[in-house]
Amino acid sequence: MDPRREEETKMYFLENRLKTFAGWPFDEDCSCTPENMAEAGFVHTPSDNSPDTAQCFFCQKELEGWEPEDDPKAEHKSHSSKCNFINLKKNVEDLSVEEFLKLEKERRKFIINQVCNDAIHKFEEAVKPRRTAIIKTATGEE
Per-residue pLDDT of the chain (142 residues; tens, 9 = 90+): 455 566 778 999 999 999 999 999 998 889 999 999 999 999 999 988 999 999 999 999 999 999 999 999 999 999 999 999 999 999 999 999 999 999 999 999 999 999 999 999 999 999 999 999 998 888 888 6
The pLDDT, as a whole number, for residue 58 is 95
CA distance from start to end of the chain: 61
Distances (CA, A) of 22 to 18, 35, 117, 134: 8, 11, 30, 50
Distance CA 54, CA 32 (A): 11
CATH, range 3-139: 1.10.1170.10
The pLDDT, as a whole number, for residue 9 is 86
Residue 59 burial (CB < 10 Å; 0-12/13-18/19+)?
Answer: buried
Q: Enumerate residues 6+ apart whose C-beta is below 8 A from 42.
A: 17, 54, 55, 56, 57, 63, 72, 76
Distance CA 141, CA 38 (A): 55
The pLDDT, as a whole number, for residue 8 is 73
Distance CA 80, CA 62 (A): 10
Task: State the CB neighbour count (10 A cutoff) for residue 30.
Answer: 14
